[in-house]
Amino acid sequence: MNRRHVLAGAASVVTAAALNPAWAQFKPTRPVEFVVHGGPGSGNDVFARALIAIIDQEKLSPVRLQVANKPGGGSTTASAYVMSKRGDPNVIACFTNAWITDTLVQEAANNRIVDMSPIVRLVVEPALVVVRADSQIKSMADFINAAKEKPGALKMSGGSITSRENVVRQLLMQSTGARWAFISFPGGGERIAALLGGHVDMMIVDPSEAGEQVRAGKLRPVAQVNDRRLPGFPDIPTLKEAGFDIPNVPQMRGIVGAPGMPADAVAYYEDLFQKVTKTTAWQKFITDNQLDGEFVKTAELKPFLNKFEGQLRDILKEAGAKVVR
């Protein structure tokens, strides 16, 4: 078996070898299972399918990548599935922050991403702090001051308590002493509707979701949650530039492999996805969705995830979530 697939892949090994001389042995011979933790149409699912479309268009993989939807319990069903595929070089998954936060707050979610084979981080999703365009609030400082004047009276809409928007809120409240309410809504549409309808005062949202509302003059961005300014919003200061020096909490998506995946397979996927990020189709995808395509390689990803897990644990504890591990 081993010899046969080495022979079959021999031709392309030559090209791959140029990038990864030591590990370019593995080449998938059957369709690769690409696990996503949402149902069809969820953010992660759309992301995975867009990746596959690019891989197909550019003919980057000798086999097909097939999306395997494993919804249930946030990321728990998917991570349990990946964990059960120990050593399988044909199973990869698309991870997000939820893969870390779920294991921190859910007793039943005991499959940590750092125990699998993290491969690469593909994107970081920046966020915008937005208010209604007719609001009195013109800057981040305005909002913080208003919240200080009437503690608890201002409201923001967002997702779960473990979401990045709540983490940023906690960090801002800690560093400024201001206090405001966090109202959870299950869907992104409802969150924006609550702000547009004037039922909440602020939200922290993906630029792709809020960009059109800003352009139409319905919402006003007052700050951005990222290390650097987005090309689409050159005039909006980052939180740090606005005078709020809180640690940046990246909202990320990346690729993780089954636990105990052979090193040559990990190197193969690292190379595959690095090639994806070099295509023009990927660049267009990044620009259209206002993402930050800061690629992190395998060697740096695992230490990063370990550190990030600790950071999130502290923040969630502060936020009042019950942290279980």
Q: Is residue 224 classed as helix, strand or coil in its secondary structure?
A: strand
Window 219-238: residues binding another protein (CB under 8 A): none
CB of 200 to another protein, least distance (A): 8
Q: Which of 8, 10, 40, 134 binds another protein (CB under 8 A)?
A: 40
Rounded to whole angstroms, the Cα distance separating 40 from 279 reads 25
Rounded to whole angstroms, the Cα distance separating 313 from 53 reads 35
CB of 218 to another protein, least distance (A): 6
Q: Which of 31, 152, 177, 243 binds another protein (CB under 8 A)?
A: 152
CB of 301 to another protein, least distance (A): 25
CB of 41 to another protein, least distance (A): 4
Residues 231-270: x/- map of binding to another protein (CB under 8 A)? ----------------------------------------
- Fill in the DSSP letter of residue 62: S
Residues 178/142, Cβ–Cβ less than 8 Å: no
Looking at the Cβ atoms of 141 and 196, the one nearer to another protein is 196
Q: Are strands 219-225 and 127-132 parallel, antiparallel or unpaired?
A: antiparallel
Rounded to whole angstroms, the Cα distance separating 192 from 189 reads 5
Rounded to whole angstroms, the Cα distance separating 151 from 148 reads 5
> Which ranges of 106-223 does DSSP label H, i.e. alpha helix?
140-149, 164-176, 188-196, 207-215
Residue 77 near another protein by CB under 8 A: yes
| Dihedrals phi, psi of 220, to nearest 5 degrees | -120, 125
> Which ranges of the chain does DSSP label H, i.e. alpha helix?
2-8, 10-19, 43-57, 76-84, 98-105, 140-149, 164-176, 188-196, 207-215, 263-277, 280-288, 298-318
Residue 200 near another protein by CB under 8 A: yes
Residues 154-173: x/- map of binding to another protein (CB under 8 A)? -x---xxxx-----------
Residue 188 near another protein by CB under 8 A: yes
Residue 71 near another protein by CB under 8 A: yes
Strand order in 91-96's β-sheet?
65-69, 32-36, 91-96, 251-257, 117-125
Q: Which of 6, 11, 108, 263 binds another protein (CB under 8 A)?
A: 108
Looking at the Cβ atoms of 180 and 269, the one nearer to another protein is 180
Rounded to whole angstroms, the Cα distance separating 124 from 92 reads 19
Q: Which of 16, 24, 32, 52 binds another protein (CB under 8 A)?
A: 52
Looking at the Cβ atoms of 6 and 153, the one nearer to another protein is 153
Residues 272-301: x/- map of binding to another protein (CB under 8 A)? ----------------xx------------
Chain residues in the site for another protein (CB under 8 A): 39-41, 43, 45-46, 49-50, 52-53, 56, 69-74, 76-77, 80, 101, 105-109, 152-153, 155, 159-162, 181-190, 192-194, 196-197, 199-200, 208, 211-213, 215-216, 218, 288-289, 321-322
